[in-house]
Structure 1
Amino acid sequence: MNQNKIALIIGASSESIIAIKHAKALGLKVIAFDANPKAPGLKEADISYNIDIINPSNIIQTLSKENITLDIILPVPIGRYLITIGALNDYYNLNGFSYKMADICTDKLKFASALADNGGGLGSLRDIKFDIFDPNLNHNKLKFPLIIKPRFGSGSKDTMVISNLDELKNIAKNIKFTKMDFLIEEFIDGLEYGIDAVIINGEFHHILSRQKLLTTLPYRQAIGYISIDEIPSISSYIQNIITKLNIDNCLLHADIITKDNRAFIIELSTRPSGHYLSKFIEITTGINPTKEWINKSLNLPYNFKPKFRKNTIMRYFDFEGDWIAADFDLLKDSLGIIDYRCEINSTLPKVIDSSTIMDRGYAIIEANSKEECINNAHKLISNFKRIKR
């Protein structure tokens, strides 16, 4: 029934393959665009173009030359280039988020500014609200610890916690922080969560909440996620944010921090979660948000309501140096390892952001309780062996 329908992929990373395969299984022809000629999704698509995806007009011109009319843009976990998907949704009048929604969610300064002036407690807890980092700023106005992060981007790249004035002065010497837009604000030391959801007709529908395991300071990269029950106050808080910002018709990934029984938004994206979390979500809830969104967009039966909520943990491998992997076949039954991917085959750098951890692999473990999940993950990690040089 879908043989003549066209699906578009913007950003053909390995994490686009889930969407590509599901679309092709439904009979859609998939067209992929990516600036990287080695992007794995380009090989999986029916038609591929090696084109920079930052400019939607290039994509529109390419499709027009081939007389191609789109039916759906497949959901993929990308960063700032969500604005390209939004622009194409607008141009082709497709179901999904708009350019305006994508722009405000991928520009941290616009996002924080939109929430800070509402007076309803949706903005930042911090004394210093988001502002452009100026190496010459008045140090008397600062309250440590601070966090510095790029205005655009995701995956904790170039995000650091600064504990004192000396550290700030050292950061200011780095030419990178003077040539690019960086933001600075007061740091909150609280529990962090990842939230997976869908927004339909302006309503927030919770799929999964994940408590984060993080690197030690000064970095804030997630090295693991533990499934937890929905926290109603967080869901209500996110509903207020999407209502305020008119976020609608999209899958949603949000990062939240809680302190003193209050929730504060870190980041919100109009996309599915990345870093292989789609598999974790499906194992934990029985729902694959990407597949369900494609079904919904094609007017096929869909369901975003979790079928169950298992006690699971997803643990990445945050080693530094040279390591020999654990014997997963030997351990999987005793530790409840449901799924894993391990590609540790070289000297590993220190984990500071997603680019330094995500290609190593992960293990998804199911157990009878949150505590048992954590203990089993520790046991797995302890079975990796360090090579002494």
Structure 2
Amino acid sequence: MNILLCSVGRRVKLVEYFKKELQKINGKVVAIDCDPTAAALHHADIYEVVPRIDDPEYIHHVKYLCNKYKIRGVISLIDPELPLLASYKEEFEKEGIQMIVSDKDIVDICYDKDKTYKFLQANKIPSIPTYAGIDRVRADLKKCKINFPLIVKPKNGSASMGIHIVSSIEELKVSHDKLQEYIVQPFITGDELGVDCYIDFHTKKATNIFIKQKLKMRDGETDKSISVKDPVLKQMIEKLIDALKPIGPIDIDCFKSSNGYVISEINPRFGGGYLHAHESGQNFIKNIINNINGNPNRQHESEYAEGTIMVKYDHFMFL
């Protein structure tokens, strides 16, 4: 079995995890990226440099590589590519290629932060108040439902790009003039947590739920974290998954404030902090291989130790 990893960027360790698992069954990792200096390319069994995902020929190129390398599964590691791959999911599956991505309507909910908020509200899941227009923000500021500081971020942002804090109406007006597609949220204080989940393709149930408290962030990714267990948060995550019905790996961000837990973002892909889950025995890659082979995975979400700490550090390559 060969698996194609798209837009691999700097995800070296994830590529190595796939490589290790696939070697057990004589499979290979094929990695692609539009940047020939993307570090993770050079750790795969095979790599190809491809057009950008917004190139009209991109999907055609992916199909060509799937046929060339006899690919059984395709996975993207970045948010902007997920809606594109989801749009072609059925087309690829007719050719025996499993697109490891949730359905398009699910991806659209997760990718658009305003839609995420509306989905969570409709399903009575605690979430951060989210505003898609300045008028509602002003109204709730006057009613003291929210207070400064506020966070302004792109509706379809990724990796914390474009996020900034505003502390006055004047600053908010400036942001409103500069950003066409944006949302506004109150600044939440409290512990930030990330939950790495795996949802089985066949049973549509979560086989893994790994909870970690984020100790340090860098460029929107978890840099340091400590594993925790919390039945209240776990129950909330299960409710979210049952309502959303995603498949495969999913990364959920949330905060624990004085009022309890609130969901911040839902990313239907491998999260940047997945390394912690994997090293704690939560092997999503093995699950993916089982699912591609038509086999369901058993539930073992509680099988990890509390109090383990993950610390990322920098390395380099000489090409």
Cα distance change on mapping 1:9 and 1:260 into 2, 3 Å:
same
Return the alpha-carbon distance in structure 2 between the equivalents of residues 42 and 343 of structure 1: 15
Query: Residue 182 of structure 1 corresponds to which residue in structure 2?
Result: 182
Q: Does the 8 Å CA contact 1:12/1:42 hold for their aligned counterparts?
A: yes
Secondary structure at 2:304 match in 1: coil
Deviation per CA, 1:224-271: give whole Å up to 9, x if none.
312111x222222222223333x3321111001123453221111111
Q: Structure 1 CA distance, aligned partners of 2:137 and 2:128?
A: 21
Q: Give the alignment's Cα RMSD to 1 decimal.
A: 3.5
**Contact 1:19 1:291 (8 Å CA) reproduced:** no
Whole-Å Cα distance in 2 between the matches of residues 65 and 156 of structure 1?
31
1:290 has 2:291 as partner = no
Could you list the runs of 5+ residues in structure 1 that have no partner in the other structure? Answer: 317-340, 345-358, 360-389
Code of the aligned partner of 1:103: D
Gaps of 5+ in 2: none
Alignment of 1:56-205 (within 5 A): 58-60=58-60, 63-64=63-64, 67-68=67-68, 70-74=71-75, 77-93=77-93, 94=98, 96=100, 97-116=102-121, 118=122, 120-122=123-125, 124-126=127-129, 129-132=130-133, 139=138, 141-142=140-141, 143-145=146-148, 146-168=150-172, 171=175, 178-200=178-200, 201-205=203-207
Aligned residue pair count: 298
Q: 1:101 to 1:224 in 2, by over 3 A?
A: same
**Counterpart amino acid of 1:211?**
Q
Partner of 2:35: 36
What amino acid maps onto 2:198 in structure 1? Answer: V
String of CA shifts for 1:346-379, please: whole Å, max 9, x gaps: xxxxxxxxxxxxx9xxxxxxxxxxxxxxxxxxxx
Q: Find the counterpart in structure 1 of residue 3 from structure 2.
A: 7
Instruction: Indicate how the Cα distance of structure 1 residues 48 and 95 shifts in structure 2: closer, same or farther if over 3 A, else same.
Output: closer
Q: CA 1:70 to 1:309, structure 2 compared with 1: closer, same or farther past 3 Å?
A: same
Q: Report the TM-score, using the length of structure 1 for normalisation.
A: 0.65
Match of 1:308 in 2: 304
Q: State the one-letter code of the partner of 1:147.
A: I
CA distance in 1 between counterparts of 2:221 and 2:64 reads 41
Counterpart of 2:113 in structure 1: which amino acid?
K
Indicate the larger mover: 162-171 or 105-114.
Answer: 162-171
Distance 2:41 2:220 in 1: 32
- 1:272 deviates by 1.7
**CA distance in structure 1 between the partners assigned to 2:253 and 2:262 by the alignment:** 9
Higher relative contact order (CA 8 A, sep 6+): 2
- The answer to whether residue 15 in structure 2 is matched with residue 21 in structure 1 is no
Q: Counterpart in 2 of 1:335?
A: none
Aligned to 1:207: 209
Aligned mates of 2:37, 2:205 — CA distance in 1: 38
Deviation of 1:184 after TM superposition, in Å, equals: 0.5
Matches of 1:17 and 1:101 in 2, distance apart? 26
The one-letter code of the counterpart of 1:236 is Q
Question: CA 1:303–1:36 in structure 2 vs 1: closer, same or farther (change >3 Å)?
Answer: farther
Letter in 1 for 2:236: Y
Moved more, 220-229 or 201-210: 220-229
Q: Within 5 A, what are the aligned runs for 1:241-256?
A: 241-245=240-244, 247-256=245-254
Conserved in 2, the CA contact under 8 Å of 1:11 and 1:78?
A: yes
AA paired with 1:311?
A: G
Quick one: distance in 2 between partners of 1:130 and 1:214? Answer: 27
Deviation, 1:157, is: 2.4
Q: CA deviation at 1:221?
A: 7.2
Deviations, residues 270-327 of structure 1 (Å, cap 9, x unaligned): 11221xx3432233x22332343234323579666254315222345xxxxxxxxxxx
Alpha-carbon separation, structure 1, partners of 2:116 and 2:66: 37
User: Does the C-alpha gap of structure 1 residues 302 and 210 become closer, same or farther in structure 2, counting only changes over 3 Å?
Assistant: same
In structure 2, the CA distance between the partners of 1:65 and 1:225, relative to structure 1 (3 Å rule), is closer
* TM-aligned CA deviation for residue 196 of structure 1: 1.1
Identity %: 22
Which residue identity does 1:164 align to in structure 2? S
Q: What is the distance in 2 between the residues matched to 1:228 and 1:291?
A: 23
Distance 1:155 1:138, change over 3 A: closer
For 2:289 and 2:16, the matched residues in 1 are separated by 11
